Structure formats: structure tokens, C-alpha cells
């Protein structure tokens, strides 16, 4: 039986081949492609003219894990890239790690060798013989190159001599290929991150915080205090108050501003998908998992994770999120190991989390971990001094989106109407009101006449829009006396209907009242109508003045 150690004495080269020609031709093939499986296949087709080789493989040893990873394997028909891991036994690890120099050896049967047998089993080559060569550059072991043959058709020292000539070219080819793979992987990750972040940025609010010097002055002071830290922040406020804008301001003022800002709307993700969206999954974890997917928490690594509507998070996801906060690690679905994550948590909700914890609808331990630094954002009705600046901001923004040539401005009485309204929908409602006014008013001035009106539908025809009516709402700070409310309401309707009382678009039809009854009511309330509002009225005023 042939010795399994180092071959120090080489036989003659078969067929009297010139070693320089062999080295050149084999090198051109093994270094001819960054796709190592293609290069390995071409090298095998050339080498087997002179060496009885049936398979070739490249392997990498991962010392920290004690495994040999097969990265490429070639047979005469084709080559393929792999990522096949083979754990070594303690004896196998000891043998690999104690060697200090280049070594090439012949093995009669791979299954009998403590170092090669795990890999041979995975490649179904335990009964084959092989030439195994360590690839070393600058005294650093880079990997292993192996050439297989059928059992009983062993190699000779002359074959070993030829294979030994390829140590440096194989080492360079393997190194280049591994680096290329890593670059491709990083490029794909970067492309994926950029695409995701661009989509998120399109949905995000503007960077400017309108009202930072007025209604939001105290809030912005708290933002400046907490931004430089990594402490969790809990944003509290009604729907539409701009919690996402404040979260974005905290991120942009922090040391993580150049890292990802990932938003998760906890109420918008279906409960069945929440785990895969937050934590990601491994390939094959479930039906349809055709490739590995990183979750949003993993995407936020190094940056900020914004959990909007945290009160909508399902109980099971609350448990897993608590672990993220405590251990700073996640487990992908179908994964076998934990992944460390470095993230800063900002949560937001319009719900009363304290009440929810008392009702056992939200975990108390998660609530206390999130409420390290709570910030309450006031509703728009408590910061009406910000309305003019907000209106100007939204007019410019929406005019640009609607591609209007000129930017309009509010009419003199419009701002009074805007500040008198109580804005139950807060800033989001104000933004929508600006957009609606831009649609209704094509000129250079916006009137906001629809502010304070509510849309009603009567009967089944309301679904088609044919029976929709717009009725004004009573402003809360106006007089609430019955006659005053009626008079204000009728005057507003007259203005909307351009003074028309009767007919299809008249006030009487909208108010569902007979025209004569409406006139009597108007006369009683002192509201002019008919001729009293026209030229006759003007003449009477002139004659009385004379």
C-alpha cells in the first residue's frame, strides 16, 4: 500500500510532457474565469490528458468552526459552485492546524483519512483515491485543491509532480474567486438596501419640522436632548400629529444619521406575516421561501428602527421584540443561529399603552423598556400658531406634486377660517385640506370654503356620489345660541349656493325645507334675500342716505 504522507521523491513526468507547457496551459485555464466552477472544469479537461483525474475540487478550511467548506467541484461534464460544509473530527482538526508548510500527498482511499473522510462522504467519494494539496501563499494557508481518481487506478509520483506545479496558480484563482463572490454578495446587499431605503424615503415626510420654534418648541428641545444617545424613545400623540417626522428628526440629529432609518407600521402588517417581515427567514424555511430574506430589524443594523403604531403589535411579536431589546439579537425563521443587531428603537402610538398594560393587552415589561424617554406631541388645535407656516409648506409641496405653474396663496379670510377650525385629523387633515383646495381652486388664490363641512350620503345612491351633500359644521368657538347657529348656517349655505334659494342647487333643497318656509325663517333672522340683496337694495340705501 502506498504511503499516505508527504511525497518527497517524484517519478518521471508521463509522456515526456514539458513542465513549462503544462504549467502555462493549466494556469491559463484555472485563472481564466472569476467563476471558479467554470475555471475548475476547464482545468480538469486539460489536466486529465496527462493525469488520470475524474473529479477536481476546491475547499476552504474555517478554523473557528472546525469545518471544511467545499466551494467548487468539477467532473468531465461540468463544474458547479457549492457551499458544502463538512465538520472535522478533533483528530482531523489537530492534523490540519499543526501543519506549517506546503504539503501534497496521495491518498489511496479518502474514506480512511481522518481529515478528508467527512468531505469525501458528502461528495460520495469515500472509495476514491486522491491527490490533496494545501494552497499556501506568503505562509498563509488559503485552501485545499484535490484531484480524485477511481479506486484501483491510483496516481503515481509523476502525477503528483505535475499537480504540485499548480500550487500557486490554484491559490491565486481560489483567492480571487472568493473575493469576487464576497464583492458580488455585498453589491447585491447594497443594491437591495438602497432600493428598500429609496422606497421608504418616498413615503417619509419632509425633513423640516414646521413649528419647531413655536408650537413644537418644547418637543424639539426634548429631541435635541435625547438624539445623541441610543436610548429608546416613545412618541405619544393623536393620529396625524407628525410622529414620524419627529422620529426622523431624532434619527437625523443622532450619531446614526448616516445609517438606515427603517420604519415598521405595526398595524399594517398582517399577523401571519409579522415574523417574516420583522425577523426575516432562511431559504426553505417554509413553502415559498426560495431564498434568504433579511427582516426589517436586520436591515436597520447600525441605524434606527421606527415602530409606528406599536400598540397594534400582536402578543407573540411583542415577546420576540422584547428579546431584541434585551439581548440585541434576532433569529430568522428557519435559522439555526442568532444574529447580533445594533439598533436604536423609536416607537410611536396614539393609544394609551398604560391602560393597555392594565388590561393585559400590551406587555408591561415591553412597555417599560420602550418608555425610557417619552415625548408627547400636542395636537394641532393646541398649536394653532403653526397653521400659517404649515399651510405655506403644504401649498408649495402639493403645487410641485401637481405640477402647477404658479404657487397660489390663501385668501384674506381663508387663514381665519383655517385657524378657527378644530382639526380632529391634525396635520394630516390639514395637508389633505390643502390638496383638496388646490383641486377646487385653479386660480392664484385658495379659499378653503370646504373647511368645517362634512360629507353626508342619503340612501343607497350615496355610494355612487349622486346624493352626496356637503353641510357645514358648527365651529366650536362660535356662539351656540339657536338663532345664531341657524343664521350662521343659512348664510354659509347661501354663500355656497351663490344666493339661490329654490331649484336643484338651491339652499332649500339642501336643507330639505320648503322655499317659503326658508324665506320666513330668513326674514325672522334678519337675513336679506331676493331683491333686498340686488340693485333695489342698493337704491334704497342711496335714497335713504340722500
**Segments of the chain scoring below 50 in pLDDT:** 1-13, 202, 205-206, 455-468, 470-471, 473-478, 534-546
- pTM greater than 0.75: no
Helix 217-226 and helix 243-252, axial crossing angle in degrees, nearest 10:
40
pLDDT tens digits, 7-21 = 333 344 455 678 899
Query: Rounded to whole angstroms, what are the CA distances from 252 to 95, 206, 259?
Result: 53, 12, 10
- The C-alpha cell at 44 is 480538469
Q: What is the CATH number of domain 387-451?
A: 1.10.8.60
pLDDT for position 362: 93
Are domains 204-378 and 387-451 of this chain identical in fold? no
**Of 261, 373, 245, 243, which is closest to residue 310 (Cα–Cα)?**
243
Rg (CA), the chain: 39
List the domain boundaries for the chain. 14-180, 204-378, 387-451, 468-546
> In sequence order, what are the beta bridge partners of 330?
339
Distance CA 2, CA 155 (A): 10
pLDDT for position 531: 57
- The C-alpha cell at 42 is 476547464
pLDDT for position 465: 43
pLDDT for position 209: 74
pLDDT for position 536: 39
pLDDT for position 488: 83
- Cell 421584540 belongs to which residue? 321
**How many angstroms separate the most distant Cα atoms in the chain?**
137
Spell out the SS3 assignment of 145-174.
EEEEECCCCCCCHHHHHHHHCCHHHHHHHH
Query: Rounded to whole angstroms, what are the CA distances from 403 to 232, 373, 407, 431?
Result: 40, 41, 10, 17
pLDDT for position 14: 52
Which of helix, strand or coil describes residue 348? Answer: strand
**Which CATH architecture does the domain made up of 204-378 adopt?**
3-Layer(aba) Sandwich (3.40)
pLDDT for position 464: 41
Spell out the SS3 assignment of 402-426.
CCCCCCCEECCCHHHHHHHCCCCCH
Assigned fold of 14-180: Beta-Lactamase (3.30.450)
Amino acid at each position: 500500500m502506498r504511503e499516505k504522507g508527504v511525497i518527497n521523491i517524484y517519478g518521471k513526468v508521463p509522456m515526456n510532457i514539458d513542465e513549462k507547457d503544462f504549467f502555462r496551459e493549466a494556469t491559463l485555464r484555472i485563472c481564466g474565469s472569476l467563476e471558479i466552477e467554470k475555471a475548475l472544469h476547464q482545468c480538469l479537461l486539460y489536466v486529465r490528458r496527462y493525469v488520470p483525474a475524474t473529479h477536481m475540487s476546491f475547499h476552504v478550511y474555517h478554523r473557528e468552526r472546525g469545518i471544511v467548506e467545499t466551494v467548487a467541484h468539477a467532473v468531465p461534464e461540468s463544474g458547479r459552485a457549492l457551499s458544502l460544509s463538512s465538520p472535522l473530527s478533533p483528530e482531523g482538526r489537530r492534523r490540519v492546524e499543526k501543519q506549517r508548510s506546503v504539503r501534497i500527498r496521495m491518498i489511496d482511499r479518502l474514506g480512511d483519512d481522518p481529515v478528508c473522510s467527512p468531505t469525501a462522504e458528502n461528495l460520495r467519494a469515500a472509495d476514491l483515491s486522491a491527490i490533496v494539496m494545501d494552497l499556501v501563499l506568503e505562509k498563509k494557508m488559503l485552501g485545499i485543491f484535490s484531484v480524485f481518481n477511481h479506486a484501483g487506478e491510483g496516481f503515481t509520483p509523476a502525477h503528483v509532480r505535475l499537480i504540485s506545479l499548480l500550487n500557486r496558480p490554484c491559490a491565486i484563482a481560489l483567492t480571487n474567486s472568493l473575493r469576487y463572490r464576497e464583492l458580488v454578495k455585498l453589491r447585491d446587499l447594497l443594491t437591495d438596501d438602497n432600493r428598500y431605503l429609496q422606497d421608504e424615503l418616498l413615503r417619509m415626510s419632509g425633513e423640516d419640522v414646521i413649528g419647531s420654534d413655536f408650537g413644537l418648541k418644547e418637543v424639539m428641545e426634548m429631541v435635541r436632548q435625547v438624539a445623541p444617545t441610543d436610548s429608546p424613545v416613545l412618541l405619544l400623540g393623536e393620529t396625524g400629529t407628525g410622529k414620524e417626522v419627529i422620529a426622523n428628526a431624532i434619527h437625523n440629529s443622532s450619531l446614526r444619521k448616516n445609517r438606515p432609518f427603517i420604519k415598521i407600521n405595526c398595524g399594517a402588517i398582517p399577523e401571519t406575516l409579522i415574523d417574516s417581515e420583522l425577523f426575516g427567514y432562511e431559504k426553505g424555511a417554509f413553502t415559498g421561501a426560495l431564498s434568504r430574506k433579511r427582516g426589517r430589524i436586520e436591515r436597520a443594523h447600525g441605524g434606527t428602527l421606527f415602530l409606528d403604531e406599536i400598540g397594534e403589535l400582536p402578543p407573540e411579536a411583542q415577546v420576540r421584540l422584547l428579546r431584541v431589546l434585551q439581548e440585541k439579537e434576532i433569529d430568522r425563521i428557519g435559522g439555526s443561529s442568532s444574529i447580533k443587531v445594533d439598533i436604536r428603537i423609536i416607537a410611536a402610538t396614539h393609544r394609551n399603552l398604560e391602560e393597555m398594560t392594565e388590561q393585559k393587552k400590551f406587555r408591561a415589561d415591553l412597555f417599560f423598556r420602550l418608555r425610557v424617554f417619552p415625548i408627547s406631541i400636542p395636537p394641532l388645535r393646541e398649536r394653532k400658531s403653526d397653521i400659517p407656516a404649515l399651510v405655506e409648506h403644504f401649498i408649495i409641496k402639493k403645487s410641485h406634486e401637481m405640477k402647477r405653474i404658479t404657487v397660489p396663496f390663501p385668501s384674506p379670510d381663508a387663514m381665519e377660517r383655517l385657524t378657527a377650525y378644530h382639526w380632529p385629523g391634525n396635520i394630516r387633515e390639514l395637508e389633505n385640506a390643502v390638496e383638496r383646495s388646490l383641486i377646487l381652486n385653479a386660480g392664484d388664490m385658495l379659499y378653503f370654503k370646504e373647511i368645517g363641512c362634512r360629507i353626508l350620503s342619503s340612501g343607497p345612491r350615496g355610494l355612487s356620489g349622486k346624493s352626496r351633500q356637503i353641510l357645514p359644521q358648527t365651529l366650536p368657538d362660535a356662539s351656540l345660541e339657536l338663532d345664531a347657529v341657524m343664521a350662521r348656517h343659512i348664510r354659509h349655505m347661501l354663500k355656497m349656493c351663490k344666493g339661490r334659494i329654490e331649484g336643484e342647487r338651491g339652499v332649500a333643497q339642501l336643507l330639505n325645507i320648503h322655499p317659503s318656509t326658508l324665506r320666513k325663517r330668513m326674514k325672522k333672522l334678519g337675513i336679506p334675500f331676493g331683491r333686498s340683496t340686488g340693485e333695489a337694495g342698493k337704491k334704497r340705501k342711496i335714497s335713504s342716505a340722500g
